[in-house]
Structure 1
Amino acid sequence: MSTITLSAAEEERGMRRFSRLVLLTLPLLIFLALFFFWPIMGLLKQGFYSQGALSADNYLRLLKVPVYRVVLQNTFVIAAAVTCSCVIMSYPLAYLMATVRPALSKLLFFAVLLPFWSSALVRTSAWVALLQQNGPLNTLLITTRLIDHPVAFLYNFTGVLIGMTHVLMPFVVLPLYASFRALDNSLVQAAQSLGADSIGIFTRVILPLTRPGVVAGAIIVFMNAVGYYITPSLMGGPAQRMIAELISHNISDELNWGIAAALAGVLLLTTLFTLWLFNRLFGLDKLMGGPAAGKGNPPARIRRTRGGRLSALAGLLCAAFLLVPILVVIPISFGTSSFPTFPPAEYGIRWYRNFFQDPKWMGALWQSIEVGVVVTLISTLLGASAALGVYKMRSARKGILEILFIIPMAVPAIITAVALYYLCGPLGLINNSVALIIGHTVMATPYTYITLRAALQSFDPNLELAALSLGANWRQMFRRVMFPALVPGLIGGAVFAFITSFDDVVMALYLTTLRNRTLPKLMYEGLSLDFDPTVISASCVLIAATALMLIAHSLFGRHGEKHATTTR
């Protein structure tokens, strides 16, 4: 049997080649240093100045002034409540996904992934249409005589909890589902044979074995929830104001950069601590599965325990919670009245016609597409270059670089947006969308990097050694062997980069003007200032595009895997 070996000279040339490959990490390092770390440091520095002198007064005011204390308390209470809600609702859904037949499991996967890939603004607009005083939910409750008067679901804690749970729940469902798939059926069967009831099996077998997945998802949800901006601002009231909204208020209305910087410092410290906790418990390498982890075909299902009918019903209700708002808003978009009703009294395409014929909406749409394409190209180049540079690097240096490359994905968008606004505003880069492209690239590049790192980790190094031992140089090996295997990862990273850019609202609020605003910013204005039914039609267009993109990505991913297998 022959083995693949390299001579000492070839190994030495390989080491020099890999040392040169490390230089490929420099473009992303320099980019993040200039447009992420440096602007944030400049912003945080403002928090330690008061009346031109170095001082801690801004941070002391956060503790002394009641409104700031209340907002800080609101932030952590709402984040904790949303995290608990996501965990509670994810358990029956993940369990159902792991126990049903493969065909039904795929449908449930789609019910989770369609909201997961859809814009948070689209989902929020769907809930605003559903939960408003004259909306479909109140109409249904009054028609069935469950209530006599409309219930206030919006602009209170209930609205914020519903909206944020819907947005963040997939982050718990996916890792929890993976934990259920890894569950040993024999343990459940043994507990059943010993007479354990459903509650006993859950508390003593299922809960301990799935704890890693649910803890990982809960940490990710909490890290996202503490810095959330869009949903609380659209579905909450003054009593539900959170840190991100207060930062925006101090920048836009009060022009108080010191307090805004102090609030950003508290939010950043909380986020970094949560990220450190995740790394301590699970390691950041768990994220190397890529953002699309869990989107493949599910493996063989596990056996359902006694009491499964009740848990299955709960799982179906949780799946409906994720999917129904997106589906119900579709017929609402075909209504002709100025207020959304379900079912519409009269059907038509009035608001679709307004969306496609109004230059304001079409201009915003094309602006989003143009920015998204540019961001996708830049972030794909930066992420792929950095991933190749980290490839085969020693673990110590690799760990430090990966933390630096992933941090922008964890930092709340409001902090990055305000920091870039502070940097790019005086330079005039906001008027021509350069600042927006920079901001979106900062947010999107971690996704392309993670996806390519996952593809490189699954790449068989023996194929590389075989090509080199047969006389191919590194460029030939990369072009003929490695690159075809990385194509699905490149496509996946590019898709996520485009969606990240196209869906962003927070960056667009600060880094665009009236002339170059994007579609999400225009939709946000249509929801926050004066409800414009065109927003619902625009949301449905984006839902359709997301569903098509999800299906195409799934089909291409399977085709790419088959192609990579045949080339090997």
Structure 2
Amino acid sequence: MAIVALPAGLPGRRLGWLVLPLLLFLVIFFFLPVGRLLSLSFAGATGPWEHYLRAASVPAYRVALATTFEIAALVTLISVVLAYPVAYLMATVPPRVTRLLTLCVLLPFWTSSLVRTTAWIILLQRNGALNTLLTEGGLTAQPIAFVYNMSGVLIGMSHVLMPFVVLPLYSAFRGIDANLVHAAETLGAGPWSLCRRLFLPLTAPGMLAGATIVFMNALGYYVTPALMGGPAQTMIAQLIAFNISEQLNWGLAAALSVAVLGATLLVFSLFQVVFGLEKLLGDSSAPVAATPFAVGSRGRSAGGWVLVMAGVAVVLFLLAPILIVFPMSLGSSPFLSFPPSNFSLRWYEEFFNRPQWIASLWNSLQVAGIAVLGATTLGTAAALALSRLRGPLGRLLETLFILPMIVPQIILAVGLFYLLAPWGLIGGHWALGLGHVVMAAPFVVITVRAALRGFDRNLELAALGLGASWPAMFRRVLLPAILPGILAGAVFAFITSFDDVVLALFLTNVRSRTLPKLMYEGVAHEINPTITAVAALIVLFTLAVLLTNLVLQRRAR
């Protein structure tokens, strides 16, 4: 192992062992359950390939596999197409407007995916706001089927995953030197030539990074296709859950898991080989051009104005389901309509007066507490160790710590269920809490690693050289510097836990079910107006957490 050079005897040289707690935790609660699940795929009564042959011979499984790749590819394409106008708009407006647009992108990004999916169902259903607008405006004679089909799946998944492309694309635009654009214009390049020969090649790495994340996430997606799709849009994750919960066919579910996991890891490995892990994770040290990209000396072209209008439309698309939830939650009618004819707090009172809603909220907060404490502690320690490790070992450990973000959640959920059920841990807070630590720890590692890259190591050496012990230096020098990264990681951990549905479906029961699971059960059967009040409260709660995090980060700085 290669370690950053420090004077002999300094405790900082011995921080490499801090990777062990997170590594051991992941071995027990990630690699072991996933490995045991995948091994079941080779435990057939007639041979090791029995389940694979069945998956290949049954038409329903072949169709679902093809549908999974089709939906993942279409969602990735739509996300890229929609992200370019937003990234261009963010890069070519004044800084104050850029900050506002960034907030408009991040607010949906941080908001629960279940809340957004629920809002889209309300918005797009047969008697929803969009069909009401179209029919009353005379644009259509009959309501259009926007949901419970392919269009519903593509709209819902693209809305959830598109911000993963917007953010790296914006960074790529900021990395384009405006002088390069001026030089190209001086040499006679027109808007189309600039786009084809300059902007697209220079933003391609950022676009590919975002597209890779979207595609990998889409392959294992569960909630949105299950709620917004129909039978023809059944994806592999749904069949894995079906074979476990309905058929009790662990071997076939494991074989399907191997298929989707193999495809995910293949995409991840190819990207890592070509571009590197830092580009996939959004390297915070990526250079910003000395003269960042802006509108050219000729002003915006006609195509530029088209991109601006498209960018504004996409931002409205991102905000629409969140904004529509609030007025609908204030309606008094038991039938969802937009805009509501009468305003009332009836559904908020229903939420606070129903014991099952309050109990599920308390369960979610308890599980999130376990996730935040565990992920923040383990992730921060691992990030400190990784900052001292170099060479193949450091890259290997970083990859291992990132894998829980790559592996589809349905595989982790089923693997943990198979591991923990014999121990009698299913149905309590700890099984789900430990699963959420697995999911959230990589976010903490990434955010704290980014903070450590911006830390001047000379301050550490100066403090140690002046006689401070390493704990004193950490408390008074290092910790204040990386505290914003730790807080951001803790917020990521909280929202990751509070938003989870997939693990909760397998690791909780009626008494321990979380708020997202109770919402999912309600949406899957019939949308009660109380769910709109819950969705609005979750959005407000998420916004409060984000604002609190921003305030704490400013004070820490």
Answer yes or no: same fold by TM over 0.5: yes
Give me the CA root mean square deviation.
1.9
Shift in Å at residue 356 of structure 1? 1.4
Superposition pairs for residues 239-258 of structure 1, below 5 Å? 239-258=232-251
Could you tell me which of 71, 76, 95 is aligned with 1:83?
76
Deviations 1:124-149 (A, max 9, x none): 00100000000000000011111000
Matched residue, 2:423: 427
Contact 1:92 1:311 in 2 (8 A): yes
Deviations 1:3-59 (A, max 9, x none): xxxxx9x82313xx34532221111111111111011111011111112x5420111
How far apart in 1 are the matches of 2:269 and 2:470? 37
Could you tell me which of 145, 149, 158 is aligned with 1:156?
149
Does residue 537 of the first structure (1) align with residue 529 of the second (2)?
Answer: no
Shift in Å at residue 336 of structure 1? 1.5
Does residue 367 of the first structure (1) align with residue 363 of the second (2)?
Answer: yes
Shift in Å at residue 394 of structure 1? 2.6
Shift in Å at residue 366 of structure 1? 0.9
Deviations 1:87-134 (A, max 9, x none): 000001110111112222122111100010001001000100000000
How far apart in 2 are the matches of 1:185 and 1:105? 17
Matched residue, 2:459: 463
Shift in Å at residue 286 of structure 1? 3.5
Contact 2:401 2:442 in 1 (8 A): yes
Scaled by the length of structure 2, the TM-score of the pair is: 0.95
Could you tell me which of 151, 164, 167 is aligned with 2:160?
167
Superposition pairs for residues 108-257 of structure 1, below 5 Å? 108-257=101-250
Matched residue, 2:473: 477
How far apart in 1 are the matches of 2:452 and 2:185? 43
How far apart in 2 are the matches of 1:340 and 1:492? 36
How far apart in 2 are the matches of 1:372 and 1:321? 30
Matched residue, 1:262: 255
Matched residue, 1:33: 27
466-475 vs 511-520, which deviates more?
A: 466-475
How far apart in 1 are the matches of 2:188 and 2:461? 55
Report the residue type matching 2:374 in the other structure: I
Deviations 1:239-263 (A, max 9, x none): 0000101100111111111110000
Shift in Å at residue 530 of structure 1? 2.1
How far apart in 2 are the matches of 1:348 and 1:106? 34
134-143 vs 430-439, which deviates more?
A: 430-439
Shift in Å at residue 195 of structure 1? 4.1
Superposition pairs for residues 32-51 of structure 1, below 5 Å? 32-51=26-45
Deviations 1:284-317 (A, max 9, x none): 2335658x999x9xx9661154122211101100
Does residue 279 of the first structure (1) align with residue 275 of the second (2)?
Answer: no
Does residue 302 of the first structure (1) align with residue 294 of the second (2)?
Answer: yes
Report the residue type matching 1:481 in the other structure: V
Matched residue, 1:358: 354
How far apart in 2 are the matches of 1:391 and 1:201? 40
Contact 1:288 1:451 in 2 (8 A): no
Deviations 1:457-495 (A, max 9, x none): 211110011111111121221111111111111111111
How far apart in 1 are the matches of 2:441 and 2:398? 12
Deviations 1:325-358 (A, max 9, x none): 1111210111122222110121111111111111
How far apart in 1 are the matches of 2:7 and 2:190? 60
Contact 2:285 2:453 in 1 (8 A): no
How far apart in 2 are the matches of 1:161 and 1:138? 18
SS at 1:510 equivalent:
helix
Residues 289 and 194 (structure 1 numbering): CA distance in 2 closer, same or farther, change over 3 Å? closer
Shift in Å at residue 553 of structure 1? 2.3
Deviations 1:338-386 (A, max 9, x none): 2221101211111111111111101101110111012101111111111
Deviations 1:180-202 (A, max 9, x none): 11112223233334444332321
Matched residue, 1:494: 490
Percent identity over the alignment is 52
Contact 2:209 2:280 in 1 (8 A): no
Scaled by the length of structure 1, the TM-score of the pair is: 0.93
Matched residue, 2:320: 324
Matched residue, 2:62: 69
How far apart in 1 are the matches of 2:32 and 2:214? 27
How far apart in 2 are the matches of 1:419 and 1:358? 33
Report the residue type matching 1:49 in the other structure: A
How far apart in 1 are the matches of 2:280 and 2:460? 25
Report the residue type matching 1:142 in the other structure: T
Contact 1:197 1:306 in 2 (8 A): no
How far apart in 2 are the matches of 1:421 and 1:368? 19
Residues 293 and 238 (structure 1 numbering): CA distance in 2 closer, same or farther, change over 3 Å? farther
How far apart in 2 are the matches of 1:505 and 1:446? 19
How far apart in 1 are the matches of 2:484 and 2:198? 37
Contact 1:102 1:300 in 2 (8 A): no
How far apart in 2 are the matches of 1:235 and 1:193? 50
Does residue 559 of the first structure (1) align with residue 550 of the second (2)?
Answer: no
SS at 2:389 equivalent:
coil
94-103 vs 130-139, which deviates more?
A: 94-103
How far apart in 1 are the matches of 2:160 and 2:282? 21
SS at 1:188 equivalent:
helix
Report the residue type matching 1:369 in the other structure: L
Contact 1:289 1:451 in 2 (8 A): no
How far apart in 2 are the matches of 1:160 and 1:378? 34
How far apart in 2 are the matches of 1:215 and 1:277? 11
Number of aligned pairs?
546
181-190 vs 536-545, which deviates more?
A: 181-190
How far apart in 2 are the matches of 1:183 and 1:269? 36
